[in-house]
Amino acid sequence: MSYYVVTGACGFIGANLVKALNERGIDKVIAVDNLKKADKFKNLIDCEIADYLDKHEFIERVQHGEFDGAIEAIFHEGACSDTMETDGHYMMENNYRYTSILLDYCLDHETQFLYASSASVYGGGRIFKESREHEGPLNVYGYSKFLFDQVVRRRVLADSGHSQVVGFRYFNVYGPREQHKGRMASVAFHHFNQYREHGKVKLFEGCDGYGHGEQSRDFVYIDDVVKVNMYFLDHPEKSGIFNLGTGCAQPFNDIAHSTVNACRALEGKPALALAEMVSQGIVEYVDFPEALKGKYQSFTQADISALRAAGYDAAFNSVAEGVTKYVQHLSAK
């Protein structure tokens, strides 16, 4: 009997992957996570799983050979994703060492291994291409992802004889099942709640030469992230490290504008231009936090040429499209 393992299964991307496997008729899913933040269980209420394991128990059982030959694929989404975390020991143990153990297992047992990397490996650079010279993380979270990617390059990608290993450098992912993330949830999530509670949304003032709210990121909707993961699951012959974004940077102002107008549409109100939102106090700019200065990516835009070259040719949701779907989902909830 073969199982599919999803680590971080109660988290944002992990839970969406469990749901996607279910929609394919796959319910032999082992969900692995750490439920110290117990509310995360809500992400799996509408999902079918075969078993739940705490991540420490899972690692121990893997190392003792209890799963030898029993796992078809591992989607490894389990990690500390707080870019403000300053405990380097915890970050490296939780992100780097944990992932290395699973890589060893997958290579030994020819199990597909699809894992979460991060666009944070690029740091403050302006070229977002999967190449060593463009990488320079700004925080220990980014470093933990960067370091494991180097292991994959040395151990797997330099030798085509291995089973599938795919790393996804997620850019700014947003969408359903992220509510447990608190301050690390997406800007779209926070804007929805700010607008519903206060009738206005907040953005950072300008920094790094950008105007108010003009700092730009590659925002990618969760449905697209899931589709890319499933594409590689269906193509076990393809390995590599791939950017997973839309390939199009959009300013934070676009998130605010799309969120407010999607909310207004549900209220039966007409759309407004961004300038009108600003003049009416619906969009408010706040001081840029001191704690983020020098550690903030003011611009990201995925170079997705490698992803396209690997055969993934589907279109991605724009901010307006993705945010509208997300607001409708949040309102229904």
Active site residues: 141, 181
Q: How far is CA 51 from each of CA 57, 58, 256, rounded to the nearest angstrom?
A: 12, 11, 40
- Picking from 36, 39, 38, 31, the residue whose alpha carbon sits closest to that of residue 14 is 31
- Picking from 152, 174, 171, the residue whose alpha carbon sits closest to that of residue 163 is 152
**Which residues, at least 6 apart from 148, have a Cβ–Cβ distance to it below 8 Å?**
95, 96, 99, 100, 103, 115, 117, 167
H or E, element range at 167 = strand 165-170
- Picking from 96, 300, 308, the residue whose alpha carbon sits closest to that of residue 210 is 300
- Cβ distance 52 to 3 under 8 Å? no
Q: Is 276 helix (H, G, I), strand (E, B) or coil?
A: helix
- Picking from 184, 174, 191, the residue whose alpha carbon sits closest to that of residue 37 is 184
- Cβ distance 41 to 79 under 8 Å? no
- E-strand spans in 79-134? 112-118
Rg of the chain over all Cα atoms, to the nearest angstrom: 20
Judging by beta carbons within 10 Å of its beta carbon (0-12, 13-18, 19+), is residue 287 exposed, middle or buried? exposed
- Picking from 98, 128, 131, the residue whose alpha carbon sits closest to that of residue 113 is 98
- Picking from 33, 7, 11, 316, the residue whose alpha carbon sits closest to that of residue 171 is 316
